[in-house]
Structure 1
Amino acid sequence: MLRSSSSTGVSRETSPAKSSLAESSFTEGLQDVPIHQYIGIQNLRRRVRAQSNELQAGRSNQQYLVFEGITKDHLSKIDHERASIGKHTRMSHDTDADLLVIKLMPAAKHQNAHISLGIRLLFALARMGLPEDCLYALGGTRFHGHRSSKEADSAFKPLSRTQETDWPTIVFECGLSESLTRLRHDAQWWLTNSRGDVKIVVVISITPAVKRLRVEKWCLLPGTRPVTRAYQNPNPLVPTRIQEITITQNPAAQPSTIAQPSTIAQPSAPSYTVTGAPLILGFQDILLRAPVPPEGDVNFTIADLSRWADHFWRCFN
C-alpha cells in the first residue's frame, strides 16, 4: 500500500514502522520522491527504465529514485548488473539506513552541462602549457565516506594523487532546477566526507523553461562557532557556497516587419545575461601545487560562460 508520511511528505511503498528512514539527512532534497522497497534487481531495473523514459520524453522532471532495504551485499550485486541497469545512473548509498539513491542522467541533454564544463577546464589548463593529461578524469567513480558512498557526475584529480582511493580535487554535480536542494546536499557531502581532500564542488542547475543555467561554487571555509567543552575549535571548516552565477538566454528579438526584397532574414545568435561572473577555479586547489607563470587560476569570463551555455542549449534542444 502506498503511504505518505505526514511529517515529511515522502511517499512510501513500505510499512509505517520504517517511517524514520524518510527523516534521514541522506534523503535531504528528496522529500517528494517515493521510497520503494527493494525486492530485487529486476524490479529496480524496471523502475529505472520507466523513469528514464519519462525524463527523456519530457513528461517528468524527476531525476531521482530511492530504494530502501539495500545492504552492501545488495549493492555489490547491483554493481555487477550495472550495464543492464544503465550507465547513465549515479548511485549514493547510506550503509546505516540501507538506503540507495539513484540519480538518472538518461540523455545527452542531462549530461552535457557538466561534461562540457569539465572539458573547458582541461582546455584552459592546456592553454597554460600543462599537458593534456595533467588531471585524471574519474567520471562516476564511487567514493566512500564515513557511513555512505557516492558517485559524482564528473570529477578530476591531479597526477600527484596516485592511489585509486585518493579523492578528486574538483567535483561537478548537475541536475534540473527542481533538484537544486539535493545538489547542494551533494556538494556538502563531498567536502565533508573527504575531510577537505575535495577542494571545489561545482553545482550546475538547469532551468529549461527560461533557458537558464545556475552555477554555484562550494568550498570549505572557516565557520564561526563558540568554543565549548565539546567544540574546542572556534573556526571549524564548513561547506560554504562562495559563488553564485546565472547565465540566462535573452528572448529572441522580433524580426523586422519591413521585408527586404533581395535578402533572406537569418536568425541572430542567442545572447545571454550573465550575473556573478567570472567563475574562478583555483589552480592550487585543483593541481595541489602553486602555479608557475603563465599558470594561474582558471577564470571563466562572461564570454566564456555565454559560449558554454549556448553550446549546452543547442545540445538540449
Structure 2
Amino acid sequence: MTTLSGSSDALYAYTPILKPSSSTVVTSETSPAKSPLMESSLMEGLQDVPIHQYIGIPNLRRHVRAQSTELQAGRSNQQYLVFQGVTEYHLGKIDHERASIGKHTRMSHDTDDDLLVIKLMPSARHENAHITLGMELVLALIGMGLPRRCLYALGGTTFHGHNSSKEADSAYKPISRTQETDWPTIVFESGLSESLTRLRHDAQWWLTNSGGDVNIVVVISITPAVKRLRFEKWCLRPAPGNMPTTRAHPNRNPLVPTRVQEVTVTQNPAAQPSTAAQPSATIQPGPPPSYAVAGAPLTLEFQDILLRAPVPPEGNVTFTRADLEQFAEDFWECVN
C-alpha cells in the first residue's frame, strides 16, 4: 500500500457522518419526508431522493425502467433510486436478475440499514466520460512502453467495505495485484452535476473502505446546460492541522479522503452562424467550439497506479489543457 505524504494543494477534506441505529424502518412504499435514514453515510448526497420500500424485483424493475426513461428523455436529472428493506439475501436475488433489471445500473448496499442505492447510467452522456478517460489512461501508459495489459479493467465489479458494498463506474488495478479480491488502485466515477455531492461521497467510500489500497479516485461531473466537465482528483492526505507527533501518538494526523485537484472545462458560447444578405442564402456553420480550462493539467501519479517507481521514459500521466479541450470536444460531439 502506497504511503501518501501531505500536500499544500488540498482543497477539501472529508468529515465522516455518524450512522444511525439499524432499527429504523420505512413503512410506506415511498417516504416523502426526511427520515432518520438520511443521516446514514450511504444517503449522503441523496437527501432529495424518495426512499422506496422494497417489495420485490418486479416493483424494483418497474422503478428502474421508469426513471431510466425519464433520464433518457431529458425530463429528469435524477440518477439515483433508493430502496429500504433490502437484505443481503434480497441483494443476491437482485444480482441474479441483474440482466432483466438493467445492465446500465451501479449498486451500493448498506448491510446495517438494509439500504440499496441504484445509480442509473442509461445513455452515452452518463457512460462516455468515465469509459473514455479510463481508455486515455491506458493508452498513455502503453505510449510509455508498458504492455497493453499493464492494467486490468474491473468495470463494475462489486467490492465489499466494512458494512457496505459498491460497484465503480470504471476501475483499474495493476497486474501485480493478482488476487480476484484485490482492490483497484484507481477508480473513475461520473454523473450529472446535480449528483456532485454524491460523487464525492463515492470517492470517499473507495479511499476509506479499501484501507488505502485505492490511491486515486477521479470524479467527473457533467453539466449539459453549459457544456461543462468538472474533474476532481481525490486521494488520502493527512487530516488538516499541525498536531505534534509523540511516542504515545505517533500518527496525530491520520490520512483522510481529500480533494487534491479540480479542473473545469467549459465550452465558450458559440458564435452565431453567418448568413448572406439574401434570405435564401445558405447558412454558414459557425467556428468550431472553444473551451475555457481552469486548473489544468490533470495529473495521475504513475507510482500510485502501478505500485512501482517509473523507469524513464515512464512517468506520471498528465492530461494537458490541450488534451482536456480535445476530450471535451469529443465528448460533447458524441452526446450531442
Relative to the length of structure 2, the TM-score reads 0.86
**Separation of aligned partners in 1, 2:269 and 2:31:** 49
* Amino acid in structure 1 at the alignment position of 2:43: T
**Separation of aligned partners in 1, 2:291 and 2:128:** 18
> Partner of 2:10 in structure 1?
none
Q: Work out whether residues 13 and 34 of structure 1, in 8 Å CA contact, stay in contact via their aligned partners in 2.
A: no
More divergent stretch after superposition (18-27 vs 69-78): 18-27
Q: Work out whether residues 206 and 214 of structure 1, in 8 Å CA contact, stay in contact via their aligned partners in 2.
A: yes
> Partner of 2:206 in structure 1?
190
> Partner of 1:272 in structure 2?
291
> Partner of 1:118 in structure 2?
134
**Separation of aligned partners in 1, 2:213 and 2:231:** 21
Q: Structure 1: any 5+ residue segments left out of the alignment? A: 1-9
Structure 1 position 233, deviation (Å): 2.5
> Partner of 1:311 in structure 2?
330
Q: Structure 2: any 5+ residue segments left out of the alignment? A: 1-25
**Separation of aligned partners in 1, 2:332 and 2:214:** 29
> Partner of 1:74 in structure 2?
90
Structure 1 position 258, deviation (Å): 5.8
**Separation of aligned partners in 2, 1:47 and 1:227:** 53
* Amino acid in structure 1 at the alignment position of 2:262: E
Deviations 1:147-174 (A, max 9, x none): 0000000000000000010000000000
Q: Which has the higher contact order (CA 8 A, sep 6+)?
A: 2
**Separation of aligned partners in 1, 2:255 and 2:80:** 30
Q: Work out whether residues 30 and 50 of structure 2, in 8 Å CA contact, stay in contact via their aligned partners in 1.
A: no
**Separation of aligned partners in 1, 2:305 and 2:231:** 18
The list of structure 1 runs, each at least 4 consecutive aligned residues, that deviate by more than 6 angstroms after superposition, is none
Deviations 1:83-137 (A, max 9, x none): 0000100000000000000000001121001101111111111110111111000
**Separation of aligned partners in 2, 1:293 and 1:311:** 30
Aligned mate of 1:296, from 298, 315, 331 = 315
Work out whether 1:26 is the aligned partner of 2:49: no
> Partner of 1:158 in structure 2?
174
Work out whether 1:254 is the aligned partner of 2:272: yes
**Separation of aligned partners in 2, 1:95 and 1:316:** 36
* Amino acid in structure 1 at the alignment position of 2:269: P
Work out whether 1:176 is the aligned partner of 2:192: yes
**SS in structure 1 of the partner of residue 35 of structure 2:** helix
RMSD: 2.5
**Separation of aligned partners in 1, 2:105 and 2:250:** 41
Aligned mate of 1:240, from 247, 258, 276 = 258
Correspondence 1:46-125 to 2 at 5 A: 46-125=62-141
> Partner of 2:51 in structure 1?
35
Structure 1 residues 311, 220: CA separation in 2 closer, same or farther (over 3 Å shift)?
same
* Amino acid in structure 2 at the alignment position of 1:249: Q
**Separation of aligned partners in 2, 1:224 and 1:247:** 29
**Separation of aligned partners in 2, 1:52 and 1:42:** 15
Identity of paired residues, percent? 78
Correspondence 1:133-144 to 2 at 5 A: 133-144=149-160
**SS in structure 1 of the partner of residue 69 of structure 2:** helix
